[in-house]
C-alpha cells in the first residue's frame, strides 16, 4: 500500500495546494498559520521519506506526462528535507511586522518549484522549473517597487544559456556539443553567482525581503543544475573553468565580506563564498572531494540559513544592520548572540559543528589535487571566520544598547533557532551517518560521470593510485 | 586505565555541555552551582590524571593510548578521523599542570567575579578553554589537536572581549582572533598536508611508534619535513606570540585578571611550544628547520626582554616577560633539549600565574610598603642606561615602548592594502551595478526597514571607519 502512493509527488505538491488555499486569504496572521502547517507537513513528509529510505516508485506526474519526472537518488534524497527545513524555519521565524509584508503564498509556490527542481533529473523538466523559479522572485521585486533590472538581466541570460545549452546538447555534431558545454557552464556560473556574475545576488539582498532572498539562494539550485546537467556530460576543461572561477569567487567573496558595512551584503558575500566552495568540491570530482562538497552543501544550507534567520530577527528589532557601528545587543538577546556565533562558526567548519568534517574533507581533497587550491580554500575559510567574528562583535558588543522595549526572542524564533542549533551540534558531534550518506551519493554521481565521460577516468584513477601509494595502509 | 583516561576528558566536557546548553536555552544555573560543579569536575579530572601517572609509574609504562574510535571513517578511501588520547611523558605533566592551574584560577575567579553580570559567560568560556586545552595536550592525532586548538582560540577571543560594553576589549578580542585564525590556517594546512603525505593523522604514524621524544619523522624526505615544519612554526608563533605576532599578547590583557593569568601567562601561551615539542621528531629530521626555530625563538626572546623592561603597566610587562620565556623555550626546542623545554614550560607557567594573580594588589602593597618606610622603594636602573646615551637611548626606549611597532607594521603591510584593495573592488561593483540598473545610486537600504524608533543610534565610535584601515581588525 505504501509503495503504491506516489509520496515524492506529494512533497512538492503540498505547498502548491497551500498556495492555492492562500489565494483568497488576505489576513496575514491566518495566512501565516496555514503556511506554517503546510510547510511543516511537507517537512515531516520529506524527512520521513528520507529516513525510511522509501524509493520513488510510481509517479502521478510521470504517468500523466509519459516521462520520468521524479527521480530520487542518494544525491537528491537529503536535499528535499533540507530544502523543506530551510523554508519551514524561515517561515516560522517570520513574526510581527515582518509577517504583514511577507508573501506567504509566494513562499509556498517558490517552495513547491524548488522541491520539484530538486527531485528531478529530466533535462527539460529541470530547465522549465529553473526558469519558472525566477518568476515568484521577480514578482516580489515588482511588488516592492524596486528595480528588478539587474536581477532580470542575469536571470534572462541564465535562462537563455540554459535553454540553448539543453537544446544543443541533444545535437550530435561536435561544434554543437562544444557550444552546449560552454552555455551550460555559463548558466551554472550565473545561477551560482560566480564572479563576475554575482551582482544579481547583491541586488537581490538589497531589494527583496531578507527572508525571500534567503529562500531563493539557500537551496543552491545552481549547484544542483551543475550536478545533474554539467557533471555527467562536460569535459574536464569545463569542470576546471567552473572550479577556478568558483575558487576565485570564494576568496573574493570572503574578502568582500570582511570589509562590508551593510549587514545584508555581508551575509550575501558570506553565503556566496561558501556556496562557491561547494562548487569547488563538486568540480574536484574525486570521491573524497565530492563527499566533502556534498557534506558542505548540507552544512552550509543548515548553518547559513540559521545565520540568516538570526540576522533577520535582529534586523526586525533594530532595522537594517550596519556593521560600521557597534550595537551592543548582547544583554538584550544573549540567546540570539550565542546562536549567531554558533551558526557562523559552523559555516566555517568550527570543530564540533556540522561543518567541521565537511571542511576537513574538502580541504584534504583540494590539497590532494593541488597545494595551491588547498591553500586558497583555507584562506577563504580563514577570512570568513574573521568576518563572522567581526560581525558578532559589531552587533552584540562594543557599547551599551538602550532600548525602551523588550528585545528578547519570541517563542517561534526561539524554536526555529533551537532546531537549527540542535542540527548543527548533532551533525557535528555524530557526523558519520551524514558523511557516509554523502560519500555514497558521491560514488553514485562519479559512476554516472565516468560512464558518460570515459576520457576523464584516467586522471582520477591516477590520483587514486598515487593516494594509495602514499598511504601506509 | 582507559576508564581513568575517559574521566580526565569527560569531566571538563560535562562542565562545558551543562553550562553551555543551559546558557543557550536561556536557563542559566546559579553562581554557587556553577562554582561547585566546576570545582567538582576539575578535581575529578585532576585526581584521575594523577592516578594515571601513578599507575604508569608503577607499571613502568612510557605511554598509554586511549582509543575512542573513529569520529568519521570512509574505509574505501582510507580516510579516518580518529579520536585518540595519548598519556605519555609529555602530555601527563601538562594535563596535571592544567588542572592545577585551572582549578586554582577558577576558585580565584569565583571570588573575583562574584556578582558580575558576565560571571556565567566567564565560566562557559573557561570550561571551553579547559576542554580545548586537554584535547590539545592529550591529542593522539593531528585532527584532535586541531580541535582543541580551535576551542582554545575561540574561548580566548571571547574572554579578551569579556568587558564587552567597552570598545577597546572588543577590538583587541577581534585582533587576537584574527592572529589566531592565521595560526589556525597554517596549522590546518600543515595537518592536512601531513595527513595527505602519510595517509594518517595519528602522531604515532607521523613520528613513529616510539614513545615521545624518541620517535622519528615518517615524512618522506627532509624537505617535506621542512615545509610542514615551517607551517607548524607559523602556527606555533601565532599561538605563542612569537615574532611577528607578539602584539596580541598585551592586548589580551584587556580580559579579566583570572583569564589573563590562565590563558596568557600560564597555559595558552605555551600551546605553540607544546606543538613544537609534540612534533619534535619532524624538527629533528630537518636541520634548516631547527635553525629557523632557534632563530625565531632567539629573536623573540631578545625583543620581548627589551620590551618588557620599558612597559608602563604591570600586565604588559608580565606579558612580554612571558613571551621572552617562551622564546627561550622555543630555542631549547630548536636545540633539541626537549626535557629542559618541558620543565622550563611547567616552571614558567606556575611562576607567571602567581605573578599575574598578584598583579592587581601589587600596587596597593607597594604603597603600603612605601608608607611604612616613609620613602620610595629603590628601583634598578634601566638596562641600557649605563651603555647608551642621549638620543640613541631615547630612540631605543621609544622603539621598545611602542613594542617594536609590530602591530603598525602588520597593519601597514597586510591589513591596509587588503582593505584598500577590497574597497576598490566594492566601488567598482557599485559602478557596475549602477550601470546595469540604470539608477544613479544603488539603493543599499530600504528606508522602511532601516527606520526604527526604539533603537537610538550610538555615536560612531571610530573616527577612521571610512578609511582603508577600517574593516578587518579594528
**pLDDT tens digit string along B343-380?**
999 999 989 888 888 877 877 888 888 888 888 776 65
A450-457 CB contacts, 8 Å cutoff, 24+ apart: A452/A232, A452/A233, A453/A232, A453/A233, A453/A234, A453/A235, A455/A235, A455/A236, A456/A235, A456/A236, A456/A285
> B343-360: buried (b, 16+ CB within 10 Å) or exposed (e) per residue?
ebbbebbeebbebbbebe
Determine, yes or no, domain membership for A465: no
Segment A194-214 mean pLDDT: 91
Helices (H) and strands (E) in chain A, counts: 22, 0
Quick one: cell of B311? 612597559
Sequence-distant (6+) residues with CB within 8 A of B87 are B1, B5, B52, B56, B63, B64, B65, B66, B95, B138
* Closest listed residue to residue A364, CA positions, set A435, A428, A416, A418: A435
Q: Say yes or no to pLDDT of B450 above 80.
A: no
CA B132/CA B184 separation, integer angstroms: 14
CA B363/CA B215 separation, integer angstroms: 48
Band of the pLDDT at B431, cuts 50, 70, 90? very high
Can you state the percent helix, strand and coil of chain A, rounding each to 5? 75, 0, 25
Substitution target from B120, B455, B468 for chain A, most A beta carbons within 10 A: B455
Contacting B residues, span 161-200, partner chain A, CB-CB under 8 Å: 161, 164-167, 170-171, 173-174, 177-178, 181-182, 184-185, 188-189, 192-193, 195-200
Range in A303-307, A396-400, A432-436, B198-202 with the lowest mean pLDDT? B198-202
Whether B436 and chain A come into contact, CB under 8 Å, resolves to: yes
**How many Å lie between the alpha carbon of A353 and the closest alpha carbon of chain B?**
11
Determine, yes or no, domain membership for A458: no
Q: How many CB atoms lie under 10 A from the CB of residue A163?
A: 17
CA A454/CA A456 separation, integer angstroms: 5
Determine, yes or no, domain membership for A19: yes
Determine, yes or no, domain membership for A470: no
**pLDDT tens digit string along A293-318?**
999 999 999 999 999 999 998 988 88
Judging contacts by C-beta atoms under 8 Å, the chain B residues touching residue A393 are: 161, 164, 170-171, 173-174
> A188-209: buried (b, 16+ CB within 10 Å) or exposed (e) per residue?
bbbbbbbbebbbbbbbbbbbbb
Determine, yes or no, domain membership for A394: yes
Quick one: cell of A118? 530538486
Count: domains in chain A: 1
Band of the pLDDT at B143, cuts 50, 70, 90? confident
Counting every residue written for chain B, the total comes to 474
Q: How many CB atoms lie under 10 A from the CB of residue B61?
A: 14
Quick one: cell of A94? 517570520
- For B434, list phi and psi in degrees, rounded to 5: -65, -40
Whether B69 and chain A come into contact, CB under 8 Å, resolves to: no
Contact A471 B192 (CB under 8 A): no
pLDDT number for residue B386: 52
Contact A327 B76 (CB under 8 A): no
Substitution target from A98, A154, A259 for chain B, most B beta carbons within 10 A: A259
Judging contacts by C-beta atoms under 8 Å, the chain B residues touching residue A259 are: 419, 422-423, 426, 470-472
Contact A207 B173 (CB under 8 A): no
Contact A288 B77 (CB under 8 A): yes
pLDDT number for residue B201: 63
pLDDT number for residue B63: 85
Contact B433 A468 (CB under 8 A): no
CA B114/CA B330 separation, integer angstroms: 38
CA B65/CA B55 separation, integer angstroms: 14
Helix, strand, or coil here: A194? coil
Domain that holds residue A64: 2-452
Looking at chain B, the whole-number percentage of residues with pLDDT higher than 70 is 86
**How many Å lie between the alpha carbon of A16 and the closest alpha carbon of chain B?**
30
Judging contacts by C-beta atoms under 8 Å, the chain A residues touching residue B421 are: 255
**How many Å lie between the alpha carbon of B449 and the closest alpha carbon of chain A?**
5
CA A388 vs. chain centroid, Å, equals 19
Sequence-distant (6+) residues with CB within 8 A of B47 are none
- Partner residue facing B443 (CB), from A207, A252, A339: A207
Range in A431-445, B92-106, B193-207, B438-452 with the lowest mean pLDDT? B438-452
Quick one: cell of B105? 584560577
- Partner residue facing A378 (CB), from B189, B205, B418: B189
If you ran DSSP here, which 8-state letter would residue A197 be given? S
Contact B198 A472 (CB under 8 A): yes
CA A149/CA A171 separation, integer angstroms: 33
CA A121 vs. chain centroid, Å, equals 18
Segment B113-132 mean pLDDT: 89
**Do the beta carbons of residue A339 and residue A306 sit within 8 Å?**
yes
Determine, yes or no, domain membership for A349: yes
Band of the pLDDT at B456, cuts 50, 70, 90? very low
**How many Å lie between the alpha carbon of B11 and the closest alpha carbon of chain A?**
17
- For B456, list phi and psi in degrees, rounded to 5: -65, 140
- Work out how many CB contacts closer than 8 A connect A with B: 222
**Do the beta carbons of residue A222 and residue A230 sit within 8 Å?**
no
**pLDDT tens digit string along B220-269?**
577 778 888 899 999 999 988 898 888 888 887 777 877 777 767 778 88
- Sequence ranges of the domains in chain B: 2-363, 407-434
Q: Assess: ipTM above 0.90.
A: no
Contact B422 A259 (CB under 8 A): yes
- For A403, list phi and psi in degrees, rounded to 5: -140, 140
CA distance to A111, A188, B307, B453, B473, per residue, from A225 (Å):
17, 7, 58, 44, 38
Residue B443: closest C-alpha in chain A: A206
Segment A361-369 mean pLDDT: 83
Tell me which of B241 and B388 has the higher pLDDT.
B241
Contact B164 A396 (CB under 8 A): yes
If you ran DSSP here, which 8-state letter would residue B87 be given? E
CA B263/CA B270 separation, integer angstroms: 9
CA A180/CA A174 separation, integer angstroms: 10
**Do the beta carbons of residue A208 and residue A291 sit within 8 Å?**
no
* Closest listed residue to residue B153, CA positions, set B267, B229, B41, B315: B267
CA A316/CA A331 separation, integer angstroms: 17
**How many Å lie between the alpha carbon of A308 and the closest alpha carbon of chain B?**
16
**Do the beta carbons of residue A343 and residue A391 sit within 8 Å?**
no
**pLDDT tens digit string along A270-294?**
999 999 998 888 777 788 888 999 9
Segment B274-293 mean pLDDT: 89
Contact B79 A361 (CB under 8 A): yes
CA A383/CA B472 separation, integer angstroms: 9
Amino acid at each position: 500500500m505504501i509503495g503504491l502512493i506516489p509520496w515524492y509527488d506529494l512533497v512538492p505538491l503540498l505547498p502548491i495546494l497551500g498556495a492555492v488555499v492562500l489565494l483568497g486569504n488576505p489576513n496575514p496572521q491566518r495566512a501565516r498559520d496555514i503556511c506554517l502547517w503546510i510547510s511543516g507537513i511537507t517537512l515531516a513528509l520529506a524527512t520521513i521519506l528520507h529516513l525510511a529510505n522509501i524509493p520513488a516508485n510510481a509517479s502521478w506526474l510521470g504517468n500523466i506526462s509519459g516521462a520520468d519526472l521524479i527521480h530520487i537518488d542518494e544525491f537528491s534524497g537529503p536535499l528535499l528535507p533540507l530544502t523543506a527545513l530551510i523554508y519551514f524555519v524561515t517561515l516560522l521565524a517570520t513574526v510581527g511586522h515582518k509577517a504583514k509584508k511577507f508573501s506567504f503564498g509566494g513562499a509556498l509556490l517558490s517552495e513547491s518549484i524548488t522541491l520539484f527542481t530538486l527531485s528531478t533529473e529530466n533535462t527539460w523538466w529541470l530547465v522549465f522549473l529553473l526558469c519558472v523559479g525566477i518568476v515568484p522572485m521577480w514578482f516580489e521585486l515588482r511588488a516592492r517597487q524596486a528595480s528588478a533590472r539587474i536581477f532580470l538581466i542575469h536571470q534572462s541570460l541564465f535562462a537563455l544559456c540554459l535553454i540553448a545549452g539543453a537544446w544543443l546538447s541533444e545535437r550530435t555534431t561536435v561544434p554543437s556539443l562544444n557550444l552546449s558545454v560552454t552555455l551550460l557552464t555559463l548558466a551554472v556560473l550565473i545561477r551560482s553567482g560566480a564572479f563576475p556574475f554575482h551582482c544579481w545576488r547583491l541586488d537581490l539582498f538589497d531589494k527583496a525581503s531578507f527572508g525571500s532572498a534567503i529562500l531563493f539562494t539557500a537551496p543552491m539550485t545552481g549547484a544542483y543544475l551543475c550536478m545533474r546537467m554539467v557533471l555527467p556530460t562536460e569535459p574536464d576543461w569545463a569542470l576546471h573553468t567552473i572550479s577556478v572561477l568558483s575558487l576565485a569567487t570564494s576568496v573574493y567573496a570572503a574578502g568582500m565580506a570582511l570589509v562590508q558595512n551593510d549587514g545584508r551584503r555581508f551575509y550575501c558575500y558570506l553565503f556566496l563564498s561558501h556556496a562557491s566552495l561547494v562548487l569547488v568540491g563538486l568540480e574536484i570530482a574525486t570521491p573524497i572531494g565530492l563527499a566533502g562538497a556534498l557534506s558542505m552543501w548540507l552544512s552550509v544550507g543548515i548553518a547559513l540559513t540559521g545565520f540568516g534567520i538570526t540576522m533577520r530577527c535582529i534586523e526586525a528589532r533594530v532595522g537594517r544592520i550596519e556593521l560600521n557601528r557597534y550595537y551592543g545587543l548582547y544583554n538584550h538577546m544573549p540567546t540570539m548572540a550565542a546562536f549567531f556565533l554558533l551558526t557562523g562558526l559552523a559555516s566555517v567548519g568550527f570543530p564540533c559543528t556540522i561543518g567541521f568534517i565537511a571542511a576537513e574533507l574538502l580541504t584534504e581533497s583540494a590539497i590532494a589535487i593541488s597545494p595551491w587550491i588547498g591553500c586558497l580554500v583555507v584562506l577563504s575559510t580563514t577570512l570568513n571566520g574573521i568576518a563572522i567574528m567581526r560581525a558578532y562583535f559589531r552587533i552584540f558588543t562594543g557599547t551599551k544598547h538602550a532600548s525602551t522595549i523588550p528585545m528578547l526572542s519570541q517563542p517561534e524564533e526561539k524554536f526555529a533557532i533551537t532546531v537549527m542549533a540542535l542540527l548543527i551540534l548533532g551533525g557535528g558531534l555524530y557526523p558519520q551517518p551524514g558523511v557516509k550518506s554523502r560519500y555514497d551519493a558521491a560514488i553514485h554521481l562519479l559512476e554516472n560521470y565516468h560512464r558518460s565521460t570515459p576520457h576523464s577516468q584516467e586522471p582520477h584513477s591516477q590520483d587514486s593510485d598515487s593516494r594509495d601509494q602514499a598511504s601506509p595502509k | 586505565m582507559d576508564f581513568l583516561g575517559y574521566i580526565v576528558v569527560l569531566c571538563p566536557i560535562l562542565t562545558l555541555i551543562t553550562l553551555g546548553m543551559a546558557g543557550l536555552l536561556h536557563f542559566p544555573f546559579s553562581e554557587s552551582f556553577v562554582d561547585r560543579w566546576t570545582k567538582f569536575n576539575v578535581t575529578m579530572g585532576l585526581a584521575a590524571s594523577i592516578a594515571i601517572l601513578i599507575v604508569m609509574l608503577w607499571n613502568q609504562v612510557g605511554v598509554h593510548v586511549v582509543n575512542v574510535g573513529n569520529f568519521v571513517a570512509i574505509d574505501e578511501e582510507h580516510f579516518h578521523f580518529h579520536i585518540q588520547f595519548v598519556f605519555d611523558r609529555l602530555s601527563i605533566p601538562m594535563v596535571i599542570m592544567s588542572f592545577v592551574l585551572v582549578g586554582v584560577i577558577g576558585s580565584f575567579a569565583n571570588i573575583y567575579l562574584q556578582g558580575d553580570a558576565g560571571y556565567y559567560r566567564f565560566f562557559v568560556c573557561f570550561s571551553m578553554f579547559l576542554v580545548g586545552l586537554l584535547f590539545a595536550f592529550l591529542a593522539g592525532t593531528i585532527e584532535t589537536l586541531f580541535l582543541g586548538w580551535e576551542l582554545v582560540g575561540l574561548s580566548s577571543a571571547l574572554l579578551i572581549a569579556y568587558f564587552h560594553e567597552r570598545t577597546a576589549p572588543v577590538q583587541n578580542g577581534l585582533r587576537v582572533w584574527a592572529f589566531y585564525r592565521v595560526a589556525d590556517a597554517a596549522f590546518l594546512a600543515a595537518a592536512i598536508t601531513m595527513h595527505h603525505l602519510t595517509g594518517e593523522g595519528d602522531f604515532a604514524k607521523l613520528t613513529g611508534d616510539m614513545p615521545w621524544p624518541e620517535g622519528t619523522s615518517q615524512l618522506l624526505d627532509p624537505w617535506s619535513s621542512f615545509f610542514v615544519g615551517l607551517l607548524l612554526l607559523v602556527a606555533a608563533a601565532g599561538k605563542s606570540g612569537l615574532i611577528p605576532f607578539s602584539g596580541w599578547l598585551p592586548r589580551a590583557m584587556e580580559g579579566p585578571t583570572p583569564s589573563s593569568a590562565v590563558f596568557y601567562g600560564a597555559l595558552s601561551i605555551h600551546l605553540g611550544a607544546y606543538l613544537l615539542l609534540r612534533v619534535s621528531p619532524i624538527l629533528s629530521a630537518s636541520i634548516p628547520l631547527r635553525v629557523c626555530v632557534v632563530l625565531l625563538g632567539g629573536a623573540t626572546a631578545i625583543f620581548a626582554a627589551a620590551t618588557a623592561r620599558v612597559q608602563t603597566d604591570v600586565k604588559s610587562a608580565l606579558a612580554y616577560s612571558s613571551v621572552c620565556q617562551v622564546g627561550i623555550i622555543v630555542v631549547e626546542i630548536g636545540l633539541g633539549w626537549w626535557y629542559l623545554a618541558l620543565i622550563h614550560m611547567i616552571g614558567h607557567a606556575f611562576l607567571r600565574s602567581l605573578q599575574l594573580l598578584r598583579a592587581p594588589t601589587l600596587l596597593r602593597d607597594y604603597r603600603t610598603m612605601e608608607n611604612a618606610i616613609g620613602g620610595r622603594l629603590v628601583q634598578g636602573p634601566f638596562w641600557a642606561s649605563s651603555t647608551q646615551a642621549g638620543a640613541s637611548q631615547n630612540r631605543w626606549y621609544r622603539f621598545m615602548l611602542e613594542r617594536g611597532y609590530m602591530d603598525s607594521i602588520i597593519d601597514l603591510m597586510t591589513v591596509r592594502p587588503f582593505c584598500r584593495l577590497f574597497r576598490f573592488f566594492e566601488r567598482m561593483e557599485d559602478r557596475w551595478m549602477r550601470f546595469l540598473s540604470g539608477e544613479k545610486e544603488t539603493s543599499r537600504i530600504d528606508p522602511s526597514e532601516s527606520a526604527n524608533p526604539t533603537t537610538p543610534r550610538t555615536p560612531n565610535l571610530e573616527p577612521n571607519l571610512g578609511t582603508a584601515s577600517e574593516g578587518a581588525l579594528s
